Structure 1
């Protein structure tokens, strides 16, 4: 039996492959500062460099991505990557789907700060 995340990821990847910009996203959960979003990227598509929220992780459901920032990481299917608190970009090395979990604010911090 497929989970809601698996079902959403298949549909999102199909939509991303057909989309002109090669990407699709669906917010699955929003509870206070917590967000969980499934993001699908066609191979070769890059999410341009952007600020990181105070806390975030990427769990690869399918494919392989490169996260570049202060450091570089290749994340493969089934792997979890904790994002640093620095600007970063994400490039799909293969058709990919990942679960992005973020905390948009923490007490005493600014949301999406460049550096902590």
Structure 2
């Protein structure tokens, strides 16, 4: 059985994102080509956006730290630490309102 401290991993990735030119950092927590489930911890410096992109068939977003806004068409969802969202099946983008870390879970 494998275990990971998401809190510690989020802190590490936030530090990396703060220093990165792109303002973001990410690490796969679980999954890969041999798995149907993939979990990625994404850290974003305040003001950074993940550009608009297509949604996978099934995905959720859990905010681990900070505040984010997910934009999907005319809808906006604001989330903060502890919030969980099922990502709508349409093009969307994610904006860090503060330094933030999220856990993206995707079923492939």
TM-score by length of 2: 0.91
Cα distance in structure 2, aligned partners of 1:49 and 1:103: 20
Bigger Rg, structure 1 or 2: 1
Name which of 37, 40, 55 aligns with 1:37.
40
Cα distance in structure 2, aligned partners of 1:99 and 1:26: 10
Deviation of the 1:9 alpha carbon? 0.6
Deviation of the 1:65 alpha carbon? 0.5
Cα distance in structure 2, aligned partners of 1:14 and 1:80: 23
SS of 2:95's equivalent in the other structure is strand
Alignment: residue pair count? 102
Cα distance in structure 2, aligned partners of 1:18 and 1:56: 28
The correspondence of residues 1-116 of structure 1 with structure 2, limited to 5 A, is 4-30=5-31, 32-70=35-73, 71-104=75-108
* Root-mean-square deviation over aligned CA pairs: 1.0
1:6-47: per-residue Cα shift (whole Å, max 9, x none)?
A: 111110000000000000000010162210010000000000
Structure 2 unmatched runs, 5+ = none
Q: Which runs of 4+ in 1 moved over 4 A?
A: none
